[in-house]
Amino acid sequence: MDKIRIGTRGSKLALWQAEHVASLLREGGIESEIVTIDTKGDKILDVSIAKIGSKGVFTEEIEDELKKGSIDIAVHSAKDMQSELPEGFELIAFTTREVVNDVLVGTDMSLSLEKQKEITIGTSSTRRVALLKHFYPHVKTVPVRGNLQTRIGKMKDGVCDALLLAYAGVHRMEYDDMIISKLPLDKFIPAVGQGSIAIECSDSLSEDKRKAIREFVNDTETEKRLLCERGYLRRMQGGCSIPLFALADLQNGTLTIKGGIVNLEGTKIIRKRMVGPAENAEAIGVDLAEEVLKCGGDVILSDIKEKLNRV
Ligand SMILES: NCc1[nH]cc(CCC(=O)O)c1CC(=O)O
């Protein structure tokens, strides 16, 4: 078999993730090569993703290369992947999931979301902003974009007191010593897929490469959990600009998914739970979505979509 050519964005986090996949393949005796690709999302740094339009900003250019066959697979943060890929592409593996929590990151270890009367948190995630408004209404937020290194720089310049980020990225970039606290999962349910790395390929990828990737890169437990969460995301038809959240756990062949939606103002939140056998991963996620929509999620969702269209 030829070397597996791995396409990735050029950010430090993306490269770490590509290297991680390369090392999993290497452990299986498979050679690979990393190819860096620039995307629209990397080039436009001064506009929030919600305004660019979330669809494929970090994936389009990479999918062009997959289609051409100049790369075999693309490595992405699973969280950044749309619920429905364009025709001809699929996700074939998910790496073992990292700690899923959001974390508060900064230089002042005494900061606390509960105790601080005045505190400004930097985040550009609509989910994090809305959940902060809901659970900690006194907390102010300010949009901060760019890679982790840039965001930490902005925080140190005084743009905010602390950042709210995914543990996975903070850990991979070795900023663990700046973690002030880990947000509890009962309040801050993460984004779909948070903490796992997804492998995308084109339909035409050869059978032998496909098999090698499934064998050495995929973690079957993570895959079940993510298929369930992605079923939820797909049925909700929400891109990354919608404050959706869902987290599935697998225990003795049974999936339990908790998830919901919060409005942009943080004044309304719907949270539901669904349980079922792991074989039905996607359907359980879809069922959760049906339940959330039925219980008021539909109104929240259409209201959010209308507001985001106006920006
Ligand atoms: N939306 C950007 C993004 N995509 C993946 C990660 C971190 C790694 C992960 O969650 O898998 C991050 C940064 C963040 O949300 O703090």
- Residue for token pair 């990828």: 205
Answer CATH for 220-311 from 3.30.930.10, 3.30.160.40, 3.20.20.80, 3.90.1150.10: 3.30.160.40
Distance between CA atoms of residues 305 and 311, nearest Å: 10
Report domain extents, the chain: 1-96+197-218, 102-182, 220-311
State residue 295's pLDDT score: 98
Q: For residue 253, which amino acid is it?
A: G
Element (H, E) at 105: strand 102-105
Give residue 221's pLDDT.
Answer: 98
Q: What is the whole-number distance in angstroms between the Cα of residue 302 and the centre of ligand 1?
A: 26
Q: Which residues line ligand 1 (CB under 6 A)?
A: 77, 79-80, 165-166, 168-169, 194-195
Specify the length of the chain in residues: 311
Specify the pTM. 0.94
Cβ-defined contacts of 283-287 (< 8 Å, 24+): 283/231, 284/228, 284/231, 284/248, 284/255, 284/257, 285/227, 285/228, 285/229, 285/230, 285/231, 285/232, 285/233, 285/234, 285/235, 285/246, 285/248, 285/257, 286/231, 286/232, 286/234, 286/235
Mean pLDDT rounded to a whole number for the chain? 94
Ligand 1 atom index nearest CA of 240? 1
Q: Give kind and range of the element (H or E) at residue 258.
A: strand 254-262
Confidence label for 311 from pLDDT (cuts 50, 70 and 90): low
Thinking of the domain 1-96+197-218, which architecture would CATH place it in? 3-Layer(aba) Sandwich (3.40)
User: pLDDT by residue (tens digit) across 149-172?
Assistant: 999 999 999 999 999 999 999 999
Residue ID of nearest Cα to ligand 1 atom 8: 169
- Residue-wise pLDDT tens digits, 247-289: 999 999 999 999 999 999 999 999 999 999 999 999 999 999 9
Do domains 102-182 and 220-311 share one topology? The answer is no
| Complex prediction ipTM | 0.93
Instruction: Select 102-182's CATH number: 2.60.40.10, 3.40.190.10, 3.40.50.2020, 3.50.50.60.
Output: 3.40.190.10
Q: State which ligand 1 atom lies nearest to the alpha carbon of 164.
A: 16
* Active site amino acids: 80
Cα–ligand 1 centroid distance for 94 (angstroms): 15
Compute CA distances 10 → 18, 58, 290, whole Å.
10, 11, 38
